[in-house]
Structure 1
Amino acid sequence: MLNTETPSQEHAGLDQYPVAELVDTLIADQFNAIAAVQAAAPSITAAVDAAAPRIAAGGRLIYVGAGTSGRLGVLDGVELHPTFSWPHERALSLLAGGKGAMFKAVEGAEDDSKQGFLDLAALLPQANDVVLLLAASGSTPYVLGALDAARTAGALTIGIANNPDAPVAMRAELGITLDTGPEVISGSTRLKAGTSQKIALNTISSAIMVRLNKVYGNLMVDMKATNAKLVRRAVALTRHATGADEASAHFVLEQCDFHVKVAIVVLKCQVPIARARALLAQAEGSVRAALLLQ
């Protein structure tokens, strides 16, 4: 039996726990998710090292999964645009059962390896694409079908599973095993197995974005200020990076369409907006490098 499916021996009487003990038990088990991701850090590092150059060369991030794993992939990809201004068309997700499966389980969809192959192939994968294949069991047919299509096209494949020696990790070019073990509620991989996948995806995509110069220091400087909250955040980030007062930061941001990177270079180098944009282009989007060019 898979580790993720094996009944936990620690909490056989879970249904009899008082609420406070039940809550403490469920929370405490989540720390095992963190430990599993930490143990996989070398594999995650290798994945980032392999993926970043391909994405920098124009590749896409493509997430593939079923059920909880698939939904976590959708979430990670969707959040890249507001966080890093990453183009929607370069963060794609395939979920067994289609878009409707995001909100309602589509029974049997995960068992269709042929559909996984066809869905991935329909995206016309290229050599610079990075395909993240998620399966807690590590053997979901839909995901393995997509893996075959990605490998056939020469895309980089990264298999993420929660069981050792899982097919998706073994057959992918790079495998990441998040060995979270039995769940408190036996077999419910939406618990710590899902948490570990969320952490791993956050880490991989965020590290890639840092390598693509989407961050200055530890500041999120390539965000989209699409609402009042994000406008305030853009002003705060610009002030923090430059030491400018609120009025000056807001004024410059208004002139450059609230692009924090540009505002930082304008204020720190005291150059016109056009010059700041040219410096950033010359520095391949790196604020730090652009400041050194002036």
Structure 2
Amino acid sequence: MAERATEARHPHSAGLHAQPAAMALGQLLDAQIAAISQVRGAFGSIAEAAEAGAAALARGGKMGYAGAGSSGLMALADCLELAGTFGIPPVQTPILFAGGTAALLHMTGGVEDDPALAEADFVAAGFNAGDVVLCLSASGTTPYTLVIADLARKAGVVVAGFANVPDSPLLAVSDIRVCIETGPEVVNGSTRMGAATAQKAALNMLSVLVGIRLGHVHDGYMVNVVADNAKLTGRAARIVSDLSGQGIEAARAALARTGGAVKPAVLIAAGETPEAATATLAASGGHLGPALARLKR
């Protein structure tokens, strides 16, 4: 495994065990910062993957995630946030994680080497041609992820491969290649650190760009948020108030008329009827910007 950059020796690895706590923590943090800085060089491919994912979701298709181990956990974390942050139905964002829910309580390495498991997970996800799957592997060699990528391409699913090693097998079979070259880890081979940190940052940005393209982010607000707890209910009311220019009570009243849906509530608080708000949003493809501009004319 020495030929993999993610398995090479980091210059700060030697003597790590004997360092004072503050020095060890400083070197670990510096390595994380260096790793995450490499994401900037992948902006073009991250944007391409986001545009593909948003297009698939907009037409009712899927943008799935696939991975094993630390990369799988980064994929899972991003995937689980999409419903609450952007109101995207989970059925449209399947997660293929090696070992399934059992592996979340006790992670074992063997599941990432099982092609039959990958095949079963791919079938269960229900992808169709034109869908997108984000496949993550730090080394770019994880068998589970490679099988998913291969099956996806054969099914006409767009594969966006995320790897931390250039010229790796995953990138070679991907339609969109997101290479974040993070190099060796301070704890030799522990890609849950620099490589995973960089992957999570990339996914954070990708999913926000997807939300923007779908019209679920306006002026930095989550306008398609699912308000299912007290915190989010209060946030929804503040969003409606700020974007409509009306008071918080008018915002709450508008939300009550929409069952908590923020976008139409903004328009209702600004003076439209519920029926007109629905029609205006339909005409703008669910984007608040042109809907508000039309209302102000």
**Bigger shift: 238-247 or 218-227?**
238-247
Q: 2:41 aligns with which of 36, 39, 42?
A: 39
Q: Is the 8 A contact 2:32 2:193 kept in 1?
A: yes
1:11 CA drift (Å) = 3.4
| CA deviation profile, 1:28-84 (whole Å, cap 9, x unmatched) | 211122211111112212222333322222221111100111111111111100101
Where does residue 266 of structure 1 map in the other structure? 268
* 1:1-294 pair list within 5 angstroms: 1-268=3-270, 270-294=271-295
Task: Give the Cα–Cα distance (whole angstroms) in 1 for the partners of residues 218 and 90 of structure 2.
Answer: 22
Stretches of structure 2 lacking an aligned partner (at least 5 in a row): none
Q: Secondary structure at the match of 2:238?
A: helix
Task: Give the Cα–Cα distance (whole angstroms) in 2 for the partners of residues 224 and 123 of structure 1.
Answer: 24
Task: Give the Cα–Cα distance (whole angstroms) in 2 for the partners of residues 50 and 235 of structure 1.
Answer: 32
Q: Secondary structure at the match of 1:40?
A: helix
Q: Is the 8 A contact 2:56 2:63 kept in 1?
A: no
TM-score by length of 2: 0.94
Q: Is the 8 A contact 1:7 1:183 kept in 2?
A: yes
TM-score by length of 1: 0.95
1:195 CA drift (Å) = 0.5
Q: Secondary structure at the match of 2:272?
A: coil
| CA deviation profile, 1:125-162 (whole Å, cap 9, x unmatched) | 21221111100110101111111110110011011101
Q: Is the 8 A contact 1:113 1:145 kept in 2?
A: yes
**Bigger shift: 42-51 or 31-40?**
42-51
Task: Give the Cα–Cα distance (whole angstroms) in 1 for the partners of residues 177 and 188 of structure 2.
Answer: 25
**Bigger shift: 237-246 or 75-84?**
237-246
Identity across the alignment (%): 38
Q: Is the 8 A contact 1:58 1:128 kept in 2?
A: no
1:113 CA drift (Å) = 2.6
Task: Give the Cα–Cα distance (whole angstroms) in 1 for the partners of residues 32 and 174 of structure 2.
Answer: 27
Q: Secondary structure at the match of 1:160?
A: strand
**Bigger shift: 223-232 or 23-32?**
23-32
Task: Give the Cα–Cα distance (whole angstroms) in 1 for the partners of residues 124 and 247 of structure 2.
Answer: 50
Q: Secondary structure at the match of 1:71?
A: helix
Task: Give the Cα–Cα distance (whole angstroms) in 2 for the partners of residues 33 and 285 of structure 1.
Answer: 37
What residue identity is the alignment partner of 2:274?
I
The alignment of Structure 1 onto Structure 2 pairs a total of residues equal to 293
1:286 CA drift (Å) = 0.7
Task: Give the Cα–Cα distance (whole angstroms) in 1 for the partners of residues 189 and 109 of structure 2.
Answer: 17
In the TM superposition, structure 1's runs of 4+ consecutive aligned residues that sit over 3 Å from their partners are none
CA RMSD in angstroms, aligned pairs only: 1.4
Q: Secondary structure at the match of 1:37?
A: helix
Q: Is the 8 A contact 2:6 2:139 kept in 1?
A: yes
1:263 CA drift (Å) = 1.4
